[in-house]
Structure 1
Amino acid sequence: MQSVDKLSVKRNRIIIISLILLTVLATLATAFIISKKTGKASDYVFGEQALKINGKMVETSIFLDEKNIFFDRNKGNSALMQKTDEEINDLILEEVIKKVLADNYFYNESGYKVTQKEIDDYYNKYVKPSLEGSGGEGSSISEGLDYKSEAEYKKDVELYLLKLKSVPSIAKEYGISLDENDFNNKYDEYTKKYKDMPKSIHPKDEYKKMLLVREFSISDKLNTWLEKLRSKAEIEIIEPSLKAYRLYKNEEYSKAADEYQKAYKQYRLTFYQDKEKECRSKE
Structure 2
Amino acid sequence: MKKKIILTVGLVLTVAAVVTAVALGPKFKKNDDNKNNNESARFGFEALKINGEYISADDFNEEYRLFYEKYKNNGEMLQKGDEERYDILLDEITNKYVLEDYFENKSKVNVSDEEVEAYVAKYVKPRYSNSEEQSAYYQIMGFADEEDMKKNIKDYLVKQQVYFDAATKYGVTLTDDESNKAYETHKQHNIKVDLKNILIAINESRTKEQAEEIANNVYSKLKEGASFEELVSQYSDDSRSKENGGKKQDVIQGYNGADFDKAVFNAKEGELLEPIYLTRGYEIVLVEKIKDYTHPQEEYSEIVLVEKFLNSDKYVEWLESIKKDYQIEITGPQYKAFRAYKNEKYEEAGLLYQQAYEKTKDLNYIERACESYSLAENWDELIKVCQIGYKARPDNILFYIHEAKGIYKSGNQEEGLKKMKAATSKAKDSVYYLGMIRNTYEELGLTDEAEKINLQ
TM range (shorter): 0.5 to 0.7
Task: Tell me, yes or no, if structure 1 residue 177 matches structure 2 residue 270.
Answer: no
Show the counterpart of 2:225.
none
Show the counterpart of 1:7.
11
Task: Tell me, yes or no, if structure 1 residue 159 matches structure 2 residue 162.
Answer: no
Show the counterpart of 1:64.
62
Q: TM-score, normalised by structure 1?
A: 0.68
Task: Tell me, yes or no, if structure 1 residue 263 matches structure 2 residue 356.
Answer: yes
Bigger relative contact order, structure 1 or 2 (CA pairs below 8 A, ≥6 apart): 1
The residue correspondences of 1:89-128 to structure 2 (distance < 5 A) are: 89-119=86-116, 126=124
CA distance in 1, matches of 2:337, 2:299: 45
Contact 1:52 1:237 in 2 (8 A): yes
- Given candidates 308, 327, 349, the residue that maps to 1:215 is 308
Question: 1:58-85: per-residue Cα shift (whole Å, max 9, x none)?
Answer: 35536634653465346241x4333211
Larger mean Cα displacement after TM superposition, 200-209 or 221-230: 200-209
Q: CA deviation at 1:148?
A: 7.6
Contact 1:63 1:92 in 2 (8 A): no
Larger mean Cα displacement after TM superposition, 82-91 or 203-212: 203-212
The residue correspondences of 1:130-145 to structure 2 (distance < 5 A) are: 132-134=135-137, 139=140, 142=142
Q: CA deviation at 1:156?
A: 4.3
Show the counterpart of 2:329.
236
For residues 242 and 118 of structure 1, do their structure 2 counterparts lie closer, same or farther at Cα, with a shift above 3 Å needed? farther
For residues 12 and 192 of structure 1, do their structure 2 counterparts lie closer, same or farther at Cα, with a shift above 3 Å needed? closer
Question: 1:148-177: per-residue Cα shift (whole Å, max 9, x none)?
Answer: 887766654343211221122211122212
Contact 2:340 2:348 in 1 (8 A): yes
| Local SS of the residue matching 2:172 | coil
The amino acid across from 2:17 in the alignment is R
For residues 243 and 121 of structure 1, do their structure 2 counterparts lie closer, same or farther at Cα, with a shift above 3 Å needed? farther
Tell which structure's C-alpha radius of gyration is larger. Answer: 2
- How many residues are treated as equivalent by the alignment? 248
Q: TM-score, normalised by structure 2?
A: 0.45
| Local SS of the residue matching 2:191 | coil
| Local SS of the residue matching 1:52 | strand
CA distance in 1, matches of 2:52, 2:134: 38
CA distance in 1, matches of 2:313, 2:72: 20
| Local SS of the residue matching 2:322 | helix
How big is the alpha-carbon RMSD for the aligned residues of Structure 1 and Structure 2?
A: 3.9
- Given candidates 185, 190, 193, the residue that maps to 1:194 is 190
What percentage of aligned pairs have identical amino acids?
28
Q: Tell me which protein shows more strand as a share of its residues.
A: 2
Runs of 5+ consecutive residues of structure 1 not aligned to the other structure: 18-42
CA distance in 2, matches of 1:11, 1:263: 36
Question: 1:169-202: per-residue Cα shift (whole Å, max 9, x none)?
Answer: 2111222122457535644652453233747545
Contact 1:167 1:212 in 2 (8 A): no
CA distance in 2, matches of 1:119, 1:50: 38
Contact 1:50 1:239 in 2 (8 A): yes
Larger mean Cα displacement after TM superposition, 53-62 or 245-254: 53-62
Contact 2:183 2:297 in 1 (8 A): yes
Show the counterpart of 1:253.
346
| Local SS of the residue matching 1:89 | helix
Q: CA deviation at 1:238?
A: 1.6
Question: 1:88-122: per-residue Cα shift (whole Å, max 9, x none)?
Answer: 11122122223333333332322202334545665
